[in-house]
Amino acid sequence: MPTNGLHQVLKIQFGLVNDTDRYLTAESFGFKVNASAPSLKRKQMWVLEPDPGQGTAVLLRSSHLGRYLSAEADGSVACEAERPGPDCRFLVLPQPDGRWVLQSEPHGRFFGGTEDRLSCFATAISPAELWTVHLAIHPQAHLLSVSRRRYVHLCPQEDEMAADGDMPWGVDALLTLIFQSRRYCLRSCDSRYLRSDGRLVREPESHACYTLEFKAGKLAFKDCDGRYLAPVGPAGTLKAGRNTRPGKDELFDLEESHPQVVLVAANRRYVSVRQGINVSANQDEELDHETFLMQIDQETKKCTFYSSTGGYWTLVTHGGIQATATQVSANTMFEVEWRGRRVALKASNGRYVCMKKNGQLAAISDFVGWGSPRGPHLTTWAEMVAAGVPTVPSPTGEDEEFVLKLINRPILVLRGLDGFVCHRRGSNQLDTNRSVYDVFHLSFSDGAYHIRGRGGGFWYTGSHGTVCSDGERAEDFLFEFRERGRLAIRARSGKYLRGGASGLLRADADVPAGVALWEY
């Protein structure tokens, strides 16, 4: 394995930017490569893989083509190899400014160039052989200090960021990684930027911009004076220390941010684990015990709910739901049914989770919303009447339905298949194919969300389903968490928001799939 651990951190996708601010691109036609693209999209995404020969070399695979970059003895380069051969082996040589040099391992030459004049024939390193790494992950994530094993979060009382959280719980642990001018900024959940002296500022000034470096499979952030961010003192305050070389204290892991949610039952109380192992709707405020980490399985699309006390919701004897499981299993998986402003949860026994009279949750209902008579698997009152099933409306409402509220995205960045969602210049419409993104603000209203953009205007649907961003009044949008890291957004028309070839955001998709799914 590579001794520098680069393959560990870059299992995620990234782009490579040359000295003229153009991205390394893999073209389908002729499997050629160039450095002509001004932005990071699918053709510009790459993944590092370890060399199977257990050496220090790595392989550079195009995410777009699924093929490997190769360099021949005469310096010619291509991205045609379906299986890696000797010419696909490169050495990554990190430079003092954080950029990379790629050296062909079998031939010893350096890879670089401009536009469509790329080659791997240079015998010395010049600016043309220097590449900046642009991470292609969704920019909202959690940051974990390697040395302290604590998560970074915003401390509003102390007006600082600190690495002192056992878990990335709540909105304060959400960071947005901003890439600009080949450097990165760390933006807190309240839209401020971390300066190297530990202060939080409103604008990304020079002392709030960092060079990203990789060491031992981890990340390090170097400020403009050559010092590195690290947790300092007993409180773990995040600021640049004295070190000009990254040690263990200066290393961080970047972790995917899963949705954290609260659920409100028909009795208008929060689902909680505050009073023990039973999952019950018995609290009037939303704190850590009422917050659950929602993780979606990519294959089954079912989800788990993980509590702040360290246990997964699980189905137990007689249908009860307890937060006691330490590992994911069939009994910890729940199928989510999206029912407008409400959700229903079906457990592994095939029954729906409902709220009992004492507030405890149990998977004992055969259908949603009309008491609990045993009968055919029917979900609406009209269907049950037609089938002759006796129905008794619940006096407290739909005991099998819950309000599900996303709490760790007060600010929202959306990315589709073709790029990020961003305001269209000179218009009130929204583009869906941009390499840069705008940050939108969320507010919650009885199972729906209001989305505000630049200038405080609300999103709304206009003619032909076009989504506009300058509304004076809020319009309800429904969020459906359909896949791992991806949601669908439903407009009041019942249609889903989608991107398209024109790059315009429209509410005209019938199904929550493909271009109607958004990384968030």
Of the given ranges (154-158, 431-435, 498-502), which has the lowest mean pLDDT?
Answer: 498-502
Residue 332's pLDDT band (cuts 50, 70, 90): very high
Q: 171 φ, ψ to 5°?
A: -70, -25
CB 43 within 8 A of CB 31: no
Nearest CA-CA partner of 363 in 320, 325, 404: 320
Contact yes or no for 292/306 (Cβ under 8 A): yes
CB distance 43 to 34 below 8 Å: no
Domains, in order of start, for the chain: 13-135 (2.80.10.50), 140-256 (2.80.10.50), 260-366+396-404 (2.80.10.50), 409-519 (2.80.10.50)
Grade residue 322 by pLDDT with cuts at 50, 70 and 90: very high
Cα–Cα dist 19/168, whole Å: 37
Phi, psi of 43 (to 5 degrees): -70, -15
Q: Provide DSSP, 346-395.
A: E-TTS-EEEE-TTSBEEEEESSSSS-----SS--SHHHHHHTT------T
The continuous run of DSSP H or E covering 406 comes out as strand 403-406
Q: pLDDT confidence of 50, banded at 50, 70, 90? A: confident
What is the per-residue pLDDT across 473-506, written as a single tens digit (0 to 9) for each? 999 999 999 999 999 999 999 999 999 777 899 9
Q: Is the pLDDT confidence value at 9 over 80?
A: no
Q: What is the pTM of this model?
A: 0.82
* pLDDT score of 13: 80
Helix, strand, coil % in the chain, rounded to nearest 5: 10, 45, 45
Residue predicted with more confidence, 493 or 138: 493
- How many C-beta atoms lie closer than 10 Å to residue 29's C-beta? 5
Tell me which DSSP letter residue 495 carries. P
CA–CA separation, 459 vs 440, rounded Å? 10
CA distance 83 to 64: 15
What is the pLDDT, as a whole number, of residue 389? 46
CA 4 to chain centre: 26
Confidence of residue 464 (pLDDT cuts 50, 70, 90): confident
Cα 382–386–387 angle (5° rounding)? Answer: 115
Measured CA to CA, the distance from residue 274 to residue 292 in angstroms comes to: 12
Query: Is residue 391 within 8 Å of residue 385, measured between CB atoms?
Result: yes
CA distances 131 to 13, 242, 265, 423, 444, Å, are 15, 27, 52, 29, 42
- Read off the pLDDT of each residue in 35-40 and give the average, rounded to a whole number: 90
Q: How far apart are the first and last CA of the chain?
A: 33
